[in-house]
Amino acid sequence: MKQLTTLNLKNSHLLIFIFIIVVFNQSCKKQEMSQWRGVDRFGHYDDVQIADEWPENGPEMLWVTEGIGNGFAAPVILNDIIFVNGEIDSISYLFAFDLNGNLLWKSPNGPEFMGEGFSSTYPGARSAPTVIKDLVYTSSGMGRIACFDANTGDEVWAVDLVKELGGTDNYFGYSESVVVDDQKVYCFPGGNKNNVAAFDRLTGNIVWTSEALRDTFAYCSPIQVDLGSKKVWITTSRHHLFSVDCETGEVLGTYTLEGYEYDGEHCNSPVYSDGFIYFIANDIPGRGAVKLELLPDGKITEVWSNKSIRNNFHGFIVYENHLLTTIEGNWLKALSLENGVVTDSVKIATGSIIEADNKLICYGANGDLNLVKFNNNKFEVSSKFKVDKGTKHHFSYPVLAKGIMYIRHGDALIAYNLK
């Protein structure tokens, strides 16, 4: 009996030891990729826990770093490094900071977008970097895509979409946060011959280019969807939403975006969920919010549209069987995924939206940050505060990592503790 008890005790110690090793290995496992709007570009941060409410004056501000220059580009965090683009003296820079806001390095990426006429009131960086392991991929507003060493900031390769691929100079600059997978970097130069293109992610060599639809590009950051038999790259041009075979560059499916409006460019990223693409445009008249079926062969067909729901560049998410978005007039709307009908609305400042820990964070164009719950198809605004650091327009997206929210507001990068 004593021998059996001793054996059981040894087994218990062994199980505890194995459990500790498993937990330790999981905690030490490093994330290998980070990009625009989270892992899948859909605005969800699944492994983040945040408080149910914020203090009256907002969550604790951990630090603010100024000097990243003009721009609206959101930061991207991979493990213990923050990457963000900015413009200083008309030059595009990629900055790397540690998690305390200390500058690690900054590297130039050619001239940045400064604009002319009306567009000159929106100078600066547009695109968020994409990070895979030890390499960072980013685009300037003038269409220079470059790959940098994430640890040193050294440039590995670069391609100028306008000079080298006949890309299109455009009124508001290149705004694409490039899609990168394990082999290729995908982009939209916008030229007649090289309308869309893919590069080898390690060398920058061209893998393929395609005339695609020979349509000028919009300001969308694309998504990639794995259909099993093939991967497709989905983006918008000035007049279409379309899918491209990632292996060949062949256009597989198209959907016409009706009523193109010059100042209503298609800037939102599509969202993919359970076989369907969701998209919102700002055209008047136009299709507004749409649900599109993405077939196994990459073709696209409309399921429904709601013309009254329009959004230029503030984004949207799919959550709890609803499409959630802000619209003009300072409303947050919930649309049923089944039929596109609005099921609930609440008054908050129009702006970007993300989700974490079953809560919504909405960053308004007026600087308001709202914490919103969506339960039983009903909105409840639980907390609100205003971002009072930084410069110019509140157009960037919030980013979450390990319970910390990072906000880019013009020249400033700000960290808030949401735990």
Contact at 8 Å (CB) between 220 and 236? yes
DSSP state of 167: P
Radius of gyration from C-alpha coordinates of the chain = 22
Query: Any residues with CB less than 8 A from the CB of 263 and at least 6 apart, and which?
Result: none
Backbone dihedral region for residue 11 (phi beyond 0: left; psi -120 to 50: alpha; all else: beta): alpha
Residue type, 159: V
Closest CA to 214 of 232, 193, 235: 193
Of all helices (H) and strands (E), which one includes residue 164?
A: helix 161-165
DSSP for 90-115? TEEEEEEE-TTS-EEEEEEEEEPP--
Query: Any residues with CB less than 8 A from the CB of 117 and at least 6 apart, and which?
Result: none
C-alpha 419/C-alpha 417 separation (Å) is: 6
Look up the pTM and report it.
0.92
Q: What is the pLDDT of residue 9?
A: 47
Query: pLDDT tens per residue, the chain (419 residues)?
Result: 445 444 454 555 544 444 444 344 444 457 899 999 998 999 999 888 999 999 999 999 999 999 999 999 999 999 999 999 999 999 999 999 999 999 999 999 999 999 999 999 999 999 999 999 999 999 999 999 999 999 999 999 999 999 999 998 888 999 999 999 999 999 999 999 999 999 999 999 999 999 999 998 889 999 999 999 999 999 999 999 999 999 999 999 999 998 876 656 789 999 999 999 999 998 888 899 999 999 999 999 999 999 999 998 999 999 999 999 999 999 999 999 999 999 999 999 999 999 999 999 999 999 999 999 999 999 999 999 999 999 999 999 999 999 999 999 999 999 999 99
**Preceding peptide of 285 cis, ω within 30°:** yes
Phi/psi of residue 26, nearest 5 degrees = -65, -40
Closest CA to 229 of 153, 291, 305, 297: 297
> Taking the domains of the chain in order of start, what are their residue ranges?
45-70+314-394+396-419
3-state helix, strand, coil in the chain (%, to 5): 10, 45, 45
Q: Which CATH class is domain 45-70+314-394+396-419?
A: mainly beta
Q: What is the pLDDT of residue 364?
A: 97
Of all helices (H) and strands (E), which one includes residue 203?
A: none
Q: What is the pLDDT of residue 71?
A: 97
Helices then strands (H, E): number in the chain? 2, 34
